[in-house]
């Protein structure tokens, strides 16, 4: 089993010029904002030219979690009504990458491209299927089980993704707590236990894995499938 949905790059780079020629136009989004309201009000999809966007969702208890990150060469589609109702996602530009340079284009243009180009259509179908699969997959991966299991699942998955894309930034304790749906104090206790066991080293704005096999002892079965 191979899940690589956490960090998505480059699916649509071969179609960048095609999007521009079909009527897409350049737009800059400031760092750290939710681009969802613009997409909804203008009915626009967004192609990322430079920068990064994090999908965040609001759980039933009101907590907010980062669940996926999109980089250069990806298209952020217009969320359908079912997805908005169930998950209330919003799309936050990543401050660490500065302002996001994008190409914006209409829903009609997107559908026209899909109808006229089978390769583009197949790529879009694969991307959307992957995104929806991951939005279902994340609660099981990070939000089930004891705090220490959630923390280990997250760190192992992040390490797997980093091995495939070395541009992925380090994670902080605040981001970790946000991702696993636990309080900062609970996450700190879990990290302290893992540090004492020799699994990790913590430093300012970073958590370094020293021994993944120790993390695997605390992880749940689903993260072990990622290693298979």
Domain map (residue ranges) of the chain: 7-137, 144-227
For helices 173-180 and 184-196, give the axis angle rounded to 10 degrees.
110
Whether 7-137 and 144-227 share one fold: the answer is no
pLDDT in tens, 119-152: 877 777 666 655 555 555 555 666 667 899 989 9
Q: What is the pLDDT of residue 205?
A: 75
Question: CATH classification of 144-227 is 3.30.200.20, yes or no?
Answer: no
pLDDT in tens, 20-51: 998 999 999 998 888 888 888 888 888 999 98
Q: How much is the pTM?
A: 0.59
Q: What is the pLDDT of residue 3?
A: 32
Question: CATH classification of 7-137 is 2.60.120.10, yes or no?
Answer: yes
One-character DSSP codes across 110-177: HHHHHHH-HHHHHHHHHHHHHHHHHHHHHHHHHSSS-HHHHHHHHHHHHHHHHHH-TTPPPP-HHHHH
Tokens of 174: 């605040």
Asked whether residue 109 carries a pLDDT value surpassing 80, the answer given is yes
- CA–CA dist 12, 76 (Å, integer): 11
């Amino acid at each position: 089993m191979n899940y690589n949905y956490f960090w998505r790059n480059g699916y649509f780079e071969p179609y960048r010029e095609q999007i521009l020629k079909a009527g897409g136009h350049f737009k800059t989004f400031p760092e750290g904002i939710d681009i969802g309201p613009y997409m909804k009000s203008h009915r626009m999809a967004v192609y990322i030219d430079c920068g990064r966007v994090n999908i965040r969702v609001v759980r039933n208890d009101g907590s907010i979690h980062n669940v996926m990150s999109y980089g250069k060469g990806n298209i952020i589609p217009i969320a359908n009504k079912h997805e908005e109702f169930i998950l209330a996602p919003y799309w936050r530009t990543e401050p660490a990458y500065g302002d996001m340079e994008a190409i914006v284009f209409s829903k009609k243009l997107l559908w026209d491209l899909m109808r006229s180009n089978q390769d583009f259509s197949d790529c879009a179908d694969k991307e959307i299927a992957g995104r929806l699969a991951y939005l279902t997959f994340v609660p099981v991966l990070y939000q089930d089980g004891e705090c220490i299991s959630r923390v280990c699942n997250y760190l192992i998955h992040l390490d797997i993704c980093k091995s495939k894309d070395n541009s992925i930034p380090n994670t902080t304790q605040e981001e970790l707590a946000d991702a696993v749906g636990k309080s900062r104090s609970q996450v700190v206790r879990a990290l302290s236990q893992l540090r004492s066991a020799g699994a990790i080293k913590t430093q300012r704005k970073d958590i370094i894995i020293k021994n993944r096999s120790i993390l695997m002892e605390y992880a749940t079965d689903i993260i072990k499938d990622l290693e298979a």
